[in-house]
Structure 1
Amino acid sequence: MDDHGGASKGAGRRAAAYLVNGFGFLRLSLLTLLGAVLIAGAAQAQTYRFSTFEVQGNTRIETSTILANLGVTPGESITAGQLNDGFQRLQASGLFETVEIVPQGGKLLIIVNEYPTINRISIEGNDRLKDEDLLTVVTSQPRRVYSPAVAERDAANIAAAYAQAGRLSATVQPKIIRRSDNRVDLVFEIAEGRVSEIERLSFVGNRAFSDRRLRRVLETTQAGLFRALIGSDTFVGDRIALDTQLLRDFYLSRGYADVQVLSATPELSPNRDAYFLTFRIQEGQQFTFGDVTAVSNLPEIDVDQYQSEIQVRRGNVFNPQSVERTIQRLELLATRQGLTFVRVTPTVRRNDADLTLDVDFVIEKGERLFVERIDIEGNATTLDRVIRREFETVEGDPFNPREIRAAAERIRALGYFSQAEVSAREGSAPEQVIVDVDVEEQPTGSLGFGANYSAESGVGVSFSFAETNFLGRGQVFNFSVDTGSETSSSSLTFVEPYFLNRDLALSFSIFYNESSQDTLTFDTRSAGFSTGLSFPAGEYSRLALSYGFTTDKLTERPGTTLSPVLLRDEGEAITSFVSYTYTYNTIGGGLDPTRGVRLRFGQQFAGIGGDEEFVKSTFLASAQRTIRNDEVTLNATFEGGVINSLGGTLSRQSNRFFNNQSIIRGFESGGIGPRDLNFSNGSLGGNYYAAARFEAQFPLGFIPDEYGISAATFLDMGSVWGLDDATTVGIPIDDGFFLNSAVGVGLLWDTAIGPLRFNFTRAINKRSFDREQTFDLTIQTRF
């Protein structure tokens, strides 16, 4: 710096500049720069050369770190602009409240004031959201350097969390409290504000389906009676996209191939505590399937064989799910035949004249791609193998995009994750594909303490623990205890859904029940366990095999007299049995979402040890469909059972059939069936039962949907009859077939404290000793 004259130095000192940032200032003695500007008016930048550096004020930050950020090398020329850039880097590092740079001839003095260290972080003013939930969005951490910019971002994240909870007016203010040793307490002060509810949820352009029906499709609901307890009636912006997709899927599944959700417009009320959300829809016309054919030019494909796999028929309402399932069936057939890289592509032709869609399933060779690997991220608790087993594809298999999408749907259906995204990218070679799985876990367990009530069991308390992803292994564990004034029960169940890494569910359960009903002259107690395996037997069917062991005891109460039929049942008996159950169910999951059937048949074979020998067979057939544009749901159910005693034994009370509210409504449990006419022992149970139930559920037009109230009318009929020894006990016993029947109406109420159902019934065909039940209320509460 010796080449500059004294006049220039004096002028530079007199023109010392101050550069101000948000937290401090920089004083630069621009020794020759401003002097040259003032004297010569030249635009030439002056240069500096510093031989030594002095840093003051740093206690935690190393001097070398500060100089590295400054970017000045001893003895090297540097312009005023470059020196200013270094100052900006120091300030932007987020390490210092103030920064001052003072050139002193050949020495550069750097004075810093470090940001304090965060001693603790606290949240104040929050009531609706818990501290532990809010702290998950806070990136500031104790024992780390405090940064105002980071604290502001944290406050914005907390405000966003409140917006997700429907409190758009919530404000968050970060504040610091100074402590000793350059430490601060960081406090986020929250004013929660009021919940912004969905005051009105409406639709424009819908002709085929009413507003009431479409509201049931959406995740969002209108604010109703329990608005303080129900979270889904609060406005959440991110939920609109989901609701839009749900609306579109609903229309597509019912044949409206051209449906468009043109807009979803939320309007905020002037006082910012309510929203009016309007969906504008263009429905288009409803289409049905026309000609549905399999087409292929591949010589190895037998088109007729693939055509027989197509279950969609002309005249069926068009449904994209039906198309997707047909593709899966055809590609699965190709795999079974040993054909690789076969892809099925649907080609759709519109026939606007008759509103049909012809679909050609074109079977062709696809691109030769292989799965290199499957990468899984985001699962902190759930084991990789639990996710990986949802893929039918493994490393090295041909890559099938449709199978990858199906695996993604299966992963989402597990219920373990709030988000599950599956994508594919190019691998290490052009013919290789890497499948990425990114998940975000959610709670899968519940601990419940509650109360329950029914007209039969009275008031009771309950405790339950349930976990559907036990230890992150995808296993199910349930434990429950329920007590009532006349009955008590407890059970424990464990299910491994993928035993031996196959779609083979292994289950184990134990139970203990006691009953001491006032209307009976005896008490019962039963305990036992069962274990079994179940596996798919078809696209909609499943087969379960099990073994069980029970011990049952019937005890006469003091001062009472048992019927001779029950005297032989007094005491304890052991039943050891094997059983199988076949189920077929398309309700809610078949090709047509408006209808479905459920079939169940099972048999229990007792006599593998124990005291009882019999074959017990049961069946159930149910059909359900919706009418009047899905406003009304119709259901018809037929079921029955029979016990055939073997080896000269007689059926026992604990194994016979008894009526309950799930079989025939309008009568008490055990209120119908064989009776000893000389004793008031209630029903003796029967070796046979048959029942038919018909029900229609529909909304109540004068009650808003948001209250969750609907109505039902029903007709139940059936009978319990038949005893092995009715003619040998020497007393009058009525065990003949008699068709009991009852009609009724019901109110169904989905509340925040659990589902309630009120049934009002009237028997229309009964015997004098049958016990009628004209009212039934069932409540199940968890808190």
Structure 2
Amino acid sequence: MTYNERRNSAGHRLQTSFTKSAATAVFLGVSSLSIGLPTVATAQSYAFSSVQIEGLNRIEAATVMSYLGFARGETVSSGALNDAYQRLNGSGLFQSVELVPRGSTLVVKVTEFATINRINVEGNKRLKDDELLELITSRPRYVFDPAKAERDAQLIAEAYQAEGRLAATVTPRIIRRPQNRVDLVFEVVEGKNTEVERISFTGNRAYSDARLRRVIQSKQAGLLRFIISADTFDPDRVEFDKQLLRDFYMSRGYVDFQVVATASEVSGQQDAYFVTYEVREGQQFKYGQITTVSEVEGIDAAAFDRLPVVRTGSTYDPATIERSIARMENEAAKMGYGFVRVDPRITRNERDGTLDIEFAIIRGPRVVVERIDIEGNATTLDRVVRSQFTVVEGDPFNPRAIRAAAERIRALGYFSDVEVQAREGSSPDSVVVDVDVEEQGTGSFSIGATYSTATGLGFNLSFTETNFLGRGQYLRLEYAGSLSFDNQNYIFSFAEPNLFGRDLRLGVDAFYGSTAQVGSALYSTTKVSGELSLEFPLSELSRLRVRGGGNGANIFGYTGTSAVVAAEAARGWQIGAQAGLTYTFDTRRNNLQSPTNFYARFAADAGGFGTDNQFIKATALANVTSMVMNDEVELSATVEGGAIYSFGAGARITDRFFLGPNQFYGFGYNGVGPRDTGVASNDALGGNYFALGKIEAKFPLGLPEEYGIKGGLFAHGGTVFGLDNPGGVDDGIYWRATVGAAIYWQTPVGPIRFSYAYPVLSEAYDQEQRFGIGFETGF
């Protein structure tokens, strides 16, 4: 029986078949010759005095004999001879095997599999060679196995299916080379991307399809389909979307929410999917009565009443329950009570739609953490992962603390997958926490272009590494320049987020920038600064950053006629020491998906030490953002202000405040504030004080949400005033106000704003700029 593989040198598809005629010849040969052997006791037995092996190149004859399983002269039945053939044929060493008895000699004819000379992938564009070659099991200098090559082709095809290219085909082909070698080529036809054409929902009443589509990761194919990968159909992503929907509804009080079913239907052209989520929302619940009881001797429940962050009448959110429990258990630990747990006992009131919460302080099981094992972190140091745990070996085991640590590890962004599980340790009263991570790239290099009506067209280059040398450190190098003006900025930033293994962020920042007569400023500037800072938490939601360093500025090349600016430019380089602090409060730090968030920032600096002017400078900002009308409309209110007080020769233009077009819509660069109107150059001077208030609303325009386009209305009002040496310039308080509309476009490279603002309150000398374009920034 013969097993043949037919291929031509041009690389036709692998084909394997058994040749019936050869199989018949072997069978007849064995049968007929066996009859004529006088030494055989029966017609089904043979005795071979010699074994002749043909076709060996790399494989030893002893290997073939080991697979035959009998020695020379040994009586062999026809069944044993067939078994020997099956062992040789199934060894994976030979392309074909033939056993031919010739009297007392058994002739073994074999054809060895070829050796793989090299492996190539052709026709692939979406996925790189390195990515695909890592998937396959065939290797150069190893024996070529057609079955393995077919499996490798299937693995490559599955990789394309995961990218949404369900029509991709992969064909393994060989090109024969001398000395029984072959080149293995995987020919790839990628086919078209299988996109998600439409995502729809059934059963949803509280929230529209458009709102729910913003919750999930999967996106519909839109204008930017060529660079957005989330519009590619991925079954795993659909499953993850179900959990995102549940989290969204649960955080809004829908405790009985379910994704009943999902349906993914292929279009008639086999190039798109229609995905439908069937949901059951259930009833929305709010918090009812909130109480605390203690079942642990020595613990007074009244001391814990103030710790829960849930409030009667607010919408139920499991995350607030978890946060309340964590605060109460931490308080118990501070009081010296170990192995204390807080059990939330919930009573449903269906009629009035409330949930009564009783936080019961109980004695938990006496289980300790034996050790924390970390696997899979090939680059990241163990201490970086361990720093996310609030428990160490020997501490009481707290499942909630372990879950919270797992979330913090995921939030680092260093790993593509994080699994944290607890198992029994060396004794029933101990556990081992296993942390299994999978590294991912944390560095990025970007080249981009920017445009603003203030500085025109520009470009930037930046390198960012968020896990420098696997130590969890942050490094950023950036260069930004303007094509319209001679402006250049160089930025260096480095941070150690866990100094001494604690929540202390040590930062080092340096800056160099130069400008040349931007807008109406008829002078050039050069600025340098260096700063060392230390940031740490003051509470769960607030942080304080203290800093010290130095900065300097020079004003030169003035071509105007203002005596104020000329006097400030004549002071030349001013380089001095500076120290300050920044306090921030941000409700988003609690990781709750709250419809209303509050952010506040206050900064104070004392500087100019070593210059002709010492100063105290302070700025403050407060913002409230809330989602209304079933999360369809975003309302935002912001107030901010600043002041600088000088003790020497007075502040210069480089120290004072200006409100630019990205901060105060409707006015140009240096467009508002004191201005030297008595000279031809009409120089903007800035001010020692500023105040600004903004009200903005963003809302859908009815366009498909995958386009990422929203509309907006806004109203801004503010002023810039005050000079140390006015020199006859009017530096009084004059309020300005604008109203207008905007288009907000969420692009893959960042949010872009197009706005039109109409000044309803302004001064005659102000520089208006009604149309604006710029990149949106967050707090």
Same fold by TM-score greater than 0.5: yes
Deviations along 1:270-319, one digit per CA (max 9) or x if unpaired, are 11111111111111111111122233311032211122211211111011
Question: Which residue is 1:550 aligned to?
Answer: 551
Given the alignment, which residue of 733, 755, 769 partners 1:773? 769
Q: Residues of 1 paired with 2:598 and 2:693: CA distance? A: 15
The amino acid that maps onto 1:562 is: S
Secondary structure (helix, strand or coil) at the match of 2:215 reads: coil
CA separation of 1:675/1:55 partners in 2, compared to 1, >3 Å: closer, same or farther?
same
Q: 1:89 to 1:621 in 2, by over 3 A?
A: farther
Residue 650 (str. 1) matches residue 650 (str. 2): yes
Tell me if the contact between 1:511 and 1:528 (Cα under 8 Å) persists in the aligned partners: yes
Quote the residue 2:213 is aligned against. Answer: 215
The offset of 1:80, in angstroms, is: 6.2
Contact 2:580/2:606 (8 A) holds in 1 = yes
Q: Shift of the alpha carbon at 1:255?
A: 0.7
Describe the shift of the 1:515–1:346 C-alpha distance in structure 2 as closer, same or farther (beyond 3 A). Answer: same
Evaluate the alpha carbon distance shift between residue 620 and residue 279 of structure 1 in structure 2; reply closer, same or farther with a 3 A threshold: same
CA distance in 2, matches of 1:598, 1:493: 24
Contact 1:46–1:80 (8 Å) recurs in 2: yes
Q: 1:722 to 1:85 in 2, by over 3 A?
A: farther
Match of 1:695 in 2: 696
Mapping of 1:578-593 within 5 angstroms? 578-587=579-588, 589=590, 591=592, 593=594
CA 1:408/1:65 → structure 2, altered by over 3 Å: closer, same or farther? farther
- Whether the 8 Å contact between 1:381 and 1:472 is mirrored in structure 2 is yes
> How far apart in 2 are the matches of 1:386 and 1:669?
44
CA distance in 1, matches of 2:227, 2:306: 52
Cα distance in structure 2, aligned partners of 1:70 and 1:352 = 78
Match in the other structure for 1:705: 705
Q: 1:636 corresponds to which residue? A: 637
Shift of 1:427: 2.8
Classify 1:89/1:343 alpha carbon distance in 2 versus 1 (closer, same or farther; 3 Å): farther
Which whole-Å CA distance do the structure 2 matches of 1:255 and 1:499 have between them? 39
Output the CA distance in 2 between the equivalents of 1:572 and 1:204: 67
Is the partner of 1:395 in helix, strand or coil?
Answer: coil
Cα separation, partners in 2 of 1:93 and 1:338, compared to 1, 3 Å: farther
Aligned positions of 1:370-381 closer than 5 A: 370-381=368-379
Could you report, residue by residue, the CA deviation over 1:323-375 in whole angstroms, capped at 9, with x for unpaired residues?
Answer: 11112112211222222222223222211011111222232222333333322
Structure 1: which 5+ residue stretches go unaligned? 1-16, 37-43
In 1: Cα distance, 2:357 partner to 2:549 partner: 50
Is the partner of 1:734 in helix, strand or coil?
coil
Amino acid corresponding to residue 491 of structure 1 in structure 2: I
Task: Supply the distance in 1 between the matched residues of 2:82 and 2:297 (Cα, whole angstroms).
Answer: 75
* 1:240, distance to aligned residue in structure 2 (A): 0.6
Q: How does 1:271-670 map to 2 (within 5 A)?
A: 271-484=269-482, 485-486=484-485, 487-516=487-516, 517-558=518-559, 560-564=560-564, 566-570=566-570, 571-587=572-588, 589=590, 591=592, 593-646=594-647, 648-670=648-670
Q: 1:358 and 1:125 mapped to 2: Cα distance?
A: 63
One-letter amino acid of the counterpart of residue 265, structure 1: A
Q: Which residue of 1 aligns with 2:743?
A: 747
Deviations 1:555-591 (A, max 9, x none): 1434x32333551343111131111101010147465
Distance 1:546 1:103, change over 3 A: farther
Deviations 1:496-516 (A, max 9, x none): 111222211111111111122
Aligned residues: 751
| Aligned pairs for 1:192-231 within 5 A | 192-231=190-229
Q: Is the 8 A contact 1:371 1:399 kept in 2?
A: yes
- Whether contact under 8 Å (1:547, 1:577) holds in the other structure is yes
Q: CA RMSD in A?
A: 2.9
* 1:247 Cα offset (Å): 0.9
SS of corresponding position for 1:717 = strand
Report the CA distance shift for 1:57/1:602 in structure 2 as closer, same or farther (over 3 A).
Answer: same
Deviates more, 1:289-298 or 1:170-179: 289-298
Amino acid at match of 1:258: D
Q: CA contact under 8 A between 1:499 and 1:505: conserved in structure 2?
A: yes
8 A Cα contact 2:164 2:193, kept in partner? yes
- Give SS of 2:211's match: helix
Corresponding residue SS for 2:768: coil
Instruction: Assess, with a 3 A threshold, how the Cα gap between structure 1 residues 35 and 424 changes in structure 2: closer, same or farther.
Output: farther
Greater mean deviation of Cα atoms: 155-164 or 511-520: 511-520
Seen in structure 2, the aligned counterparts of structure 1 residues 19 and 762 have a Cα distance that, compared at 3 Å, is closer
Does the aligned pair in 1 maintain the 2:521–2:684 contact within 8 Å? no
Residue 477 to residue 70, structure 1, CA distance change in 2 (3 Å) = farther
Partners of 2:295 and 2:363 within 8 A in 1: no
Structure 2 residue matching 1:212: 3-state secondary structure:
helix
Does residue 113 of structure 2 align to residue 115 of structure 1? yes
Residue 138 of structure 1, aligned match among 123, 136, 139: 136
Offset of residue 744 of structure 1: 1.4
Residues 738 and 446 of structure 1, relative CA distance in 2, 3 Å threshold: same
Kept in 2, the 8 Å contact 1:176–1:187? The answer is: yes
In structure 2, how many angstroms separate the alpha carbons of the residues matched to 1:366 and 1:76? 74
Q: CA deviation at 1:74?
A: 8.4
Provide the residue aligned with 1:176 in structure 2.
Answer: 174
Q: Does 238-247 or 132-141 show the bigger shift?
A: 132-141
Q: Deviations over 1:628-654 (max 9, x none)?
A: 1100001111111111223x4422221
Query: Structure 1 residue 396: deviation in Å?
Result: 3.0
Aligned to 1:622, the other structure's residue is in SS state: strand
| TM-score, length basis structure 1 | 0.90
Q: Where does residue 5 of structure 1 map in the other structure?
A: none
Aligned: 1:761 with 2:779:
no
Tell me if structure 2 keeps the 8 A contact 1:521–1:561.
Answer: no
User: Residues 523, 370 of structure 1: CA spacing in aligned structure 2 closer, same or farther, 3 A cutoff?
Assistant: same
Q: 1:329 to 1:252 in 2, by over 3 A?
A: same
| SS at structure 2 position matched to 1:166 | coil
Distance 1:426 1:657, change over 3 A: same
Superposition map of 1:80-91 within 5 A: 87-91=85-89
Aligned-pair CA distance for 1:180:
1.2
What's the secondary structure of 2:287's corresponding residue?
Answer: strand
One-letter amino acid of the structure 2 residue matched with residue 152 of structure 1: E
The answer for unaligned runs of 5 or more in structure 2 is: 6-15, 36-41
Rate the CA distance shift 1:681–1:112 in 2: closer, same or farther, 3 A.
farther
User: What is the DSSP-based 3-state SS (H/G/I as helix, E as strand, rest coil) of the residue aligned with 2:352?
Assistant: coil
CA deviation profile, 1:22-79 (whole Å, cap 9, x unmatched) = 666885799899999xxxxxxx998889898665544334455555556668899987
Q: 1:607 Cα deviation (Å)?
A: 4.4
User: SS at 2:666's partner residue?
Assistant: coil
1:602-622 deviation per Cα after TM superposition (whole angstroms, max 9, x unaligned): 110114444431111111111
Q: Report the equivalent of 2:9.
A: none
- Secondary structure of the 1:144 match is coil
Q: What is the SS of the residue equivalent to 1:157?
A: helix
CA distance in 2 between counterparts of 1:101 and 1:130 reads 46
SS at match of 2:134: helix
- The TM-score normalised by the length of structure 2 is 0.90
SS of the equivalent of 1:412 reads helix
Q: Is the 8 A contact 1:590 1:596 kept in 2?
A: no
Tell me, yes or no, if the aligned pair for 2:414 and 2:441 is still in contact at 8 Å.
yes
Q: Is the 8 A contact 1:753 1:780 kept in 2?
A: no
